[in-house]
Structure 1
Amino acid sequence: MAFRDMLGGLPRKPVPLIAAGVVLAVGVFGVTWWMGRQAFETTDNAFVQADTVAVAPQIDGYVTEVLVSDNAVVAAGQVLARIDAAAIEAKLAQAEANAQALEAAVRAVDDKARLEEAMIAQRAAGLDSARAEAQLAQAEMDRYDRLSREGWVSAQRVQTVKAGARQAQAAVAQAQATLEAERRTAEALGSARAQTLAQAAGARASVEQARIDLSRTEIRAPVAGVVGARAVRPGQYVRPGATLMSIVPVGQAYVVANFKETQVARLSIGQSVEIRADAFGGQTLTGRIESFAPATGAEFALIPVENAVGNFTKIAQRLPVRIAVDDGQSLAGALRPGLSIQVKVDVRQTPGPTFAEALAAPGHQAHAR
């Protein structure tokens, strides 16, 4: 009885007052939630990405040095590793010697060509001399022929003069043949020179290729960033195309948020985005919508979904949206590819093309940095 008396002595709150408070709280929460839904589109299906570059050798050989460690910060052009260059240096020396020999062969052909020019001039002079001798012999033969008809010279003498004239004509023919042979020799030298020049050009190309291969024994960073997934060690034999390590340009990370197709109608290029990463606790970053993917994520899957089946169930698809992180933020450089992100897009303004407009005219997808 005493306990009941004590309870009876406590003040009691009216039930209607409590119910009104609950209704008011639910109403405030509902209004806040509805206003938030009207002003923002959110998703936690978002991740940090970066244009990671795989580093691979362009020649084969044994690795002599690895000059970087895991997670090392590297600059563009920095030497990451070296491949044994002895064999390539030998190839370069051989190519240079071959090129020098062929260049000397070109000079030898040029010397022969100059000699042939002199020989052609000499043969041409000999032909002129033979023609002059033939003209003289022909004139003498004509004179002796007249004298023979008048009885002043013997027939034997006429025969001797005629033989001399025939010899002079034969000498002219021989001189012409010799001159033609020299000219053909000069033409052959021209063809030989062209062939040798082509061989010399090929040899110089081999020298240049050997020099390029020698420069490739030093594997350099194609971009600035942080080394990751380093799989190369000294003494390892590597082949062209094999991934030795990756370089992540962490200062150029961006966010890819996968929004439902029921959300993208309110999105537009340039809208402000609040970015929250679990790794940063309660700290946030800001960014802007940069572009929309040309297809849903399912279309880029290794095994695309086949919807033309009898047991089809409609599921809201996800569309990747690229979000650029605003510059000048201290946490921007701390974003690492693969981090989970929550994004909240302010859809109260449409500073650029909407999703439908951007996809209808891809050129409108301007970068919104």
Structure 2
Amino acid sequence: MSESPTLGAEAAASVVPASSGTPSPAIGQASASVVVVPEPESAVKPRSKKRLVLLALLAVAIGAGGYKGYDWWTVGRFFVTTDDAYVQADISVLAAKIPGYLAAVPVMNGQTLHKGDVVARIDDGDYRLARQAAHDKLVTQEAAIVRIGRQIEAAQAQIVQSASQIDAAKADSVRATADYARQQQLEKVDFVAKSRIEQARADRDRTDATVKGAEASVIVMRANVDVLRAQRQEAEGVAAELRTAEARAARDLDFTIIRAPFDGVVGNKAVEAGAYVSPGSRIAALVPLESVRIDANFKETQVERMHPGQRVHIAVDAYPGRDIIGEVEFLSPASGSVFSLLPPDNATGNFTKIVQRLPVRVRVPADIAREGVLRPGLSVTVRVDTRDPKTAAAPETDRQRTASAPE
């Protein structure tokens, strides 16, 4: 059977002479002398370009990995990171100290207060009356003390007067006794009348009685002075109690005005004017934004090289991209579980080791705290630079921030 013209033409088109001096073979023998034509250069170039791109990417990856490894070895391994950290502050809950109805609450949530500013006022009518009553009682008692003091002075003056009368009576007694002795001597020689002797004896007895009476009066007067002094001491004790009552009434009157104990921002206002409050009733909370801090909880395996004074890089979730520099203030003296309400008891026999967390206090710069961007309760990520302070003095670069990732 003869070949079709089309097949013979395709075979002839794919055959090239082996050399210029050799005749072409017959069409039927084309398969024995076929030479394949090489692919054009346009088909080779895309493969070469892909190979170059892959090699370039591999080189970049190796270089980046080496750079990262070098960066971690020189910088990153010294950073200790945790995202178990929060902004904290010593929030004060302002409460009433005395019962009463609120006359005014001139503050609102979010209002900035300074130390001494009025937060609330309790109706003070009853407390003013109580203070006035206590003051009046004290004035009356002090007047009684003055009166007793004057009575003591008068009694002491009478004692002095009676003492002088005793001296005069003793002088009369001595004179009468001497006169009676003389009359007795004269009686022995019958030189004096008997009536004269009796008169001298009576004078002697009278003067002796006068002396004894004056001395007894002085004793009574001194006893009265002692009684008056005891009364004055008792009155002074009552006056001291009344002074305490007046001071307590004045203090309660002062408590009708609730003031801010420090600078801060009002939050969680709980009452309005007209409400009745009892001692301990919550009025509002005062947040000291200028004295905020960071409380971070690090694993016990992370605190080996950590100590107070080290630089801390603070990243606030609410302000991405901002890096705040703080300082380690102190490390807690015990782990967080020790201070928990129910500390763990590992003596039960069912022990599972858990990595403990150690609270670390981070001090926030005063200028950052005054900005008010750090609000208590916000989540932050902290990175502690545990290098030598001189080495860590240089500012952290972007590559250093990513050298150690959060847990």
TM-score by length of 1: 0.84
Q: Give, as a single letter, the amino acid of the residue that structure 1 aligns with 2:61.
A: A
Q: Secondary structure at the match of 2:328?
A: strand
Distance 1:309 1:29 in 2: 48
Paired residues of 1:43 and 1:344 also in contact (CA < 8 A): yes
| Corresponding residue for residue 78 of structure 1 | 117
| Corresponding residue for residue 262 of structure 1 | 301
Q: 1:17 to 1:70 in 2, by over 3 A?
A: closer
| Corresponding residue for residue 234 of structure 2 | 195
* Greater shift in the superposed pair: 232-241 or 75-84: 232-241
Paired residues of 1:48 and 1:256 also in contact (CA < 8 A): yes
Deviations 1:30-83 (A, max 9, x none): 762644641422111110001111212232222221111112111111010011
CA-CA distance at 1:282 after TM superposition: 2.4
Counterpart check, 1:239 vs 2:278:
yes
Distance 1:84 1:68 in 2: 17
CA-CA distance at 1:170 after TM superposition: 1.3
Q: 1:203 to 1:351 in 2, by over 3 A?
A: farther
Q: 2:61 aligns with which of 17, 20, 25?
A: 25
Q: 1:50 to 1:241 in 2, by over 3 A?
A: same
> Considering only aligned residues, what root-mean-square deviation do their CA atoms show, in Å?
2.8
Q: 2:155 aligns with which of 116, 137, 140?
A: 116
Paired residues of 1:268 and 1:351 also in contact (CA < 8 A): no
Q: Give, as a single letter, the amino acid of the residue that structure 1 aligns with 2:332.
A: A
Distance 1:351 1:57 in 2: 51
Paired residues of 1:325 and 1:332 also in contact (CA < 8 A): no
Distance 1:30 1:113 in 2: 103
Paired residues of 2:112 and 2:264 also in contact (CA < 8 A): yes
Query: What are the ranges of 5 or more consecutive residues in structure 2 without an aligned counterpart?
Result: 1-41, 392-407
Query: What are the ranges of 5 or more consecutive residues in structure 1 without an aligned counterpart?
Result: 1-7, 353-369
Paired residues of 2:89 and 2:289 also in contact (CA < 8 A): yes
| Corresponding residue for residue 356 of structure 1 | none
Distance 1:93 1:290 in 2: 51
Paired residues of 1:269 and 1:351 also in contact (CA < 8 A): no
Distance 2:164 2:252 in 1: 56
| Corresponding residue for residue 206 of structure 2 | 167
Q: 1:207 aligns with which of 241, 246, 262?
A: 246
| Corresponding residue for residue 289 of structure 1 | 328
| Corresponding residue for residue 54 of structure 1 | 93
Q: Give, as a single letter, the amino acid of the residue that structure 1 aligns with 2:333.
A: P
Q: Secondary structure at the match of 2:163?
A: helix
Paired residues of 2:291 and 2:369 also in contact (CA < 8 A): no
Counterpart check, 1:44 vs 2:83:
yes
Deviations 1:269-316 (A, max 9, x none): 222222111211322322122211111111121222222333322222
Q: 1:15 to 1:260 in 2, by over 3 A?
A: farther
For these two proteins, the number of residue pairs brought into alignment is: 345
Q: Give, as a single letter, the amino acid of the residue that structure 2 aligns with 1:180.
A: I
Counterpart check, 1:183 vs 2:210:
no
Q: 1:89 to 1:49 in 2, by over 3 A?
A: same
Distance 1:273 1:64 in 2: 48
Larger radius of gyration: 2
| Identical amino acids, percent of aligned pairs | 37
